[in-house]
Amino acid sequence: MFTGIIQSIGKIKKIFFKKKKYYIYIKTSKNFIKNLRIGESISNNGCCLTIVNIHKNIMLFNVILHTINNTTFKKSKINDYVNLEKPIKTNSFFGGHIVLGHITDIAIITNIENYNFSKILWIKPSNILQMNFIPIKGSICIDGVSLTIDKIFKNQFSVNLIPETLLKTTLSKKKIDDYVNIETDIYTRNIIQTVERLYNKNISYIKEYK
């Protein structure tokens, strides 16, 4: 479990495919990798991956085909940068929102509004049904970054990037037509899906005994 507060930016040093698995080597700072162990989970652009090896300041991750096909890792290249976060500890300061590291969709950046010290990103999910879980002022995770939804249209939404976010994440380097991982808020999804199930159940009951 994560909070969406990025702790470091990593760089992809090597990618190769073997025995139906992708192996991705990510280089990060010595400070970030300090005290990490094999088997621990790390959020990589919002995707929870398990460390299978560590050498100096390089982490190795296995990525299965399902993850590749459902995240932006299928578009990743050597020298690409990724947002990194360690899992939250029970005594940690909770600064973002609860992020599971389970990507719910890939989205495309449709527009960028640039200001002196901030940006606004307009983002369109690949699956329009994801918009059901994206309410104004709700939380969303974009490439591992916890953000607040500002505005919504029928098939896209906007988020504001403050100077701190631009300084400490890869979102400052994003361009129009770039793809990002999104994870909608788990509580929003659970509430809406529960209400939908109850509604459909009641409709079925009414039709059955009408």
Q: Residue 199 has what pLDDT? A: 73
At 176 the three-state DSSP class reads coil
Average pLDDT over residues 66-92: 92
90: pLDDT confidence band, cut at 50, 70 and 90? confident
> For 8-85, CATH number?
2.40.30.20
Topology alike, domains 8-85 and 105-193: yes
Instruction: Please give the pLDDT value at position 18.
Output: 84
Model confidence over 147-197: pLDDT tens digits? Answer: 999 999 989 999 999 999 999 999 999 999 999 999 999 999 999 989 888
Q: Can you give the pTM of this predicted structure?
A: 0.91
For the chain, the structural domain boundaries read 8-85, 105-193
> What does the DSSP assignment read for 57-116?
TEEEEEEEHHHHHHSGGGG--TT-EEEEEPPPPTTS---S--B-S---EEEEEEEEEE-S
pLDDT at 208 over 70: no
Q: Which tens digit of pLDDT belongs to each residue from 125-144?
A: 999 999 999 999 999 999 99
Task: Give me the pLDDT at residue 205, please.
Answer: 52
CATH hierarchy code of domain 105-193: 2.40.30.20
